[in-house]
Each structure stands twice: as C-alpha cells, then as structure tokens.
Amino acid sequence: MATTTAETIPAAAGWLDPFLEMWRPGTGEPRQVREPATGRSLLTVPLSTPDDVARAAAAAAAAQPAWAETSYQERARILRRAAEIYEAHRPEFGTWTQRETGAHRNKMHHEQNFAVQEIHAAATMPSQPYGQLVPSAQPERLSMVRRIPVGVVGAITPWNSPSVLGMRVVAPALALGNAVVLKPDPQTPVCGGAMFAAVFKEAGLPDGLLQVVLGGAEVGEAIVTDPNVNVVSFTGSTAAGRRVGELAGRLLKKVSLELGGNNAFVVLDDADLDAAASAGAYASFQFQGQVCFAAGRHIVHRTIAGDYVDALVEKAGRLRLGDPYREDVDLGPIVNEKQLARVDGIVRRSIDGGARLAVGGTHDGLFYRPTVLADVTRDLPAWTDEIFGPVAPVVVFDTDEEALALANDTDYGLAGAVYSRSISRGLALAQRIRAGMVHVNDQTVNDEAVIPFGGMGASGNGSRFGGAANWNEFTQWQWVTVRDEPKSFPFPY
C-alpha cells in the first residue's frame, strides 16, 4: 500500500488520497519518494518486480481484444471523460508534479495543459478513418488496408515531465484500441503513474487495460522483454534507450525511442539581441535545464557574442532559486545528488579545459546557480555532452556555414533554433540543421499535441509522437481482401 508520510501533501488532500492509500503498483521493496526541494519524504510506495510486470502484461493482453472491438464512440467517450477528470483534479496533480519534480508552477501548468491536450487530441482518433480501399489487379476482388491495434504498448517514461510524456503514449494508444503497461520513473510515481491509474479508472476504462508498474531499469527491461508486450515506447536517456533498443531488436519488437538532446541555439549577427537572449536564457535555464530540448549549445556570431553573453549573465543573475512550491522563485532544485554531481562535473571539467565561467558554477545543496560558460571549444564536455542542468555554453562563429557546421557537430538531433531578422536567411539555415524540430525566431522548448514530436540520430530512432504520427506508433497495417466467388487455382500446373 502506498502511504503518504507525516508531511502529507496538504493541497493535495482530497480526491487522490484515498486512491493513494490503496495503490499497490507492485509486490517488491518499498520505495521512499523524496521531494527534491526539501529532501522530505512524500510517500512510500512498493516497487514492482519482474513477476509483477508479467502479471500486468498478461492482464493487459487479456483485456485488449474486447477493447479493440469496443465502438469508436465509447472509446472516445472514455477519453473525453478522462480529460474532464484530469481538468477537475489539476490542483492535486499540480501539487504532486511540483513536489515530485521540483518544477516551477509555470512549468507545471504548461505540462498539465499539454497532458490534457494530449487526451483531447487522442479522443478524436477513434472516429478518424482507419484504412483505405486500394486498387486490386483482380477487379472482382475488394481490397482494403486497415490499421489495427498493436496489442499491448509498454510505456517507459522519465521523471522530468512525467504527465505529458506518459499521456502522449497512454491516451493515443488507448484511443486506438490498445492496452498499456506504463512504468514511470520511480522518482515520480504519482504524477507519472498513480495519476494515470486514478484518472482512467474514474473515467470508466475497463479493468486491465491500463497497468501501472513501478521500478527502475530491471522493471523497465522486464517490460521490454515481456512476450505480451508488443510495442515499446521509451522516453529517456540515450544510454538507456540504446539498451532498450538492443533488447527489443533481438526480439524483433517494434520500439519507439525518444532520447536525449544537445540542441543548437543559433544567433545570427542580424538577430534581435534582446529577444534572442531572453529566449536563450529561458531555453537553457527554465526548469533548471532539465528538459530534453533545452538549448544545450549557444552558437553566436562573433560580432554580438560579447553582448549576448552579457545579456545571459544579467538574466542569470536575476533568477531567484528556492523551493518553487512554497516560495516565489524562478528556479528550483536539480532532481537528485547524482544529477547535480554530473552537471557540476561537466562545468568543472569545461572550465579546467579553458572555458570562461561568466556567471554561476556554484550550488547550495541541490540548487545550482544558472551558469554561463563563454569561450567554449568543441573538445569540452559542455559542448559534447547533454548537460541536463541550468548551464548555457556559448561558442562563436563568423559565417553562416560555420554556424551550420557547429549546429550539426553532435550525434544528437532533437531540436534547434535560429534567431535572425532575415526570415529567408534564418529559414535557409534552420532547414539544414539535422534535428527533428527546428524553429526560426523561437526557442527550442516547443511542443504541440498535433505535431509529430521527435528527434534524429542519437535523439531517437525515427519514432514520432503526436498528430498523424500516432497512427504509425500505435497501430499496424493489415491487408484484407474479399471476393464473392471462392477462387480456385489450376494446380499442379
């Protein structure tokens, strides 16, 4: 049983609490969940075991065929109801999201909005056409291709935006007639897992179709290899994604990998400097830079680089750090000690290697000061690595070709941005950046439920979330033909 501890979440008292009292995602060891901003315990919840995963996947597989046969109106109705329930309980969900992840309320609201939009978008899917009549070389034959559910989707999500990253899988997968086994990161069991279970239960989703398990890599791998799981949808780090891809590949299992990024933020010499610097600061520092499509590398024209760095420093200096749930601050904590050490290690090694620390580079507990590194060179970890912290490395260029080469100087390919007053110049450059999502005169942290979100290279294996792409992710083609007269064959010839 999940138990909230002495520091019971006051603003969340209500609808979710009785559910949390009963919630048993697994039969394994209890896990204490801590609030990064205060270190306080939020709840203790039992982890799942590989056996729990097997049971969950079997139950999901057993429930799925009837769901696939359920009328499109009923599937859409349950999704619409889920959106209403989610909206009604946003205060509780928001509180848990802030306290489990250390997010500012703006980020939290943004995420909640997105999660609801994902459900709304998914609710339209059951009523969309799901196939085509296709020509046949045999005119008397009716030939059609149709999209059918994949069966059971295994969804593995990270801690940093668990509501939206989970919902972008759960809602469309269910809408299209699948069952789902969802595993959030164990740091965010409520906003990444319990919330989903509670919303869809109350919405009337038939039993078995949504299974929420909890655990780390071992439990994730059990999902990937479970014979009842047909498709794996993984969002997380590139290292873990490679492992998931290897396991799934051996089993010939379809896998969607949405992975890390080291995203280029290019500022041309004709850019609106104020706009570019404010966007650049937002894209590197908001939510402590713990965003897959954060601006990881600022690539700035030499003639304005000094002013740009000064503007970033000025903005970094004004950002207030603290507990974003209780205080009026701009930035919260890094999620845990391990990640803090990683961020700090990248900053230290980059300074040792020749980067100039323009501001930041220190921390108070988990609160890392927004950091600007100037004079960064391409051999430094601040350039090569995904930092996933509030750090803005700045590199200068002289020509647009050089800017492009710098932007593409990475194995990652998630997002990119170009600032220029010349739309044609900005567009010409943006279109040559090797990334799944590129913006002119806007920053990298951008998403909408209707666009095919995803990356290239080390940022993913070509999978996409959102809009029409969801049909590719969560259904498979079936060719069906039918003829009035049974056909016979002259055989042997």
Task: Report the residue number, 174 or 232, with the smaller CB distance to ligand NAD.
Answer: 232
- Is 436 near ligand NAD (CB under 6 A)? no
Phi then psi dihedrals of residue 292, to 5 deg: -60, -35
Tokens of 402: 């050089």
The window from 92-100, 234-242, 368-376, 401-409 that contacts ligand NAD (CB under 6 A) reads 234-242
Measured at CB, which residue is nearest to ligand NAD?
220
Tokens of 288: 């402590």
The correct pick among 35, 92, 226, 258 for binding ligand NAD (CB under 6 A) is 258
The window from 96-104, 131-139, 259-267, 374-382 that contacts ligand NAD (CB under 6 A) reads 259-267
The window from 22-30, 99-107, 130-138, 240-248 that contacts ligand NAD (CB under 6 A) reads 240-248
Q: How far is the CB of 207 from ligand NAD (least distance, A)?
A: 24
Pair type for strands 179-183 and 152-156: parallel
Task: Report the residue number, 359 or 392, with the smaller CB distance to ligand NAD.
Answer: 392
Residues taking part in catalysis: 258, 292
Which of positions 45-84 make contact with ligand NAD (CB under 6 A)? none
Q: How far is the CB of 161 from ligand NAD (least distance, A)?
A: 6
- Mark residues 379-398: x for contact with ligand NAD by CB under 6 A, - for none: -------x-x----------
The correct pick among 216, 353, 365, 467 for binding ligand NAD (CB under 6 A) is 216
Q: How far is the CB of 34 from ligand NAD (least distance, A)?
A: 15
Task: Report the residue number, 178 or 187, with the smaller CB distance to ligand NAD.
Answer: 187
Binding residues for ligand NAD, how many (CB under 6 A)?
Answer: 30
Task: Report the residue number, 259 or 311, with the smaller CB distance to ligand NAD.
Answer: 259
Task: Report the residue number, 162 or 177, with the smaller CB distance to ligand NAD.
Answer: 162
Question: Which residues of the chain form contacts with ligand NAD (CB under 6 A)?
Answer: 156-161, 165, 183, 185, 216-217, 220-221, 224, 235-237, 240, 243-244, 258-261, 292, 386, 388, 414, 455, 459
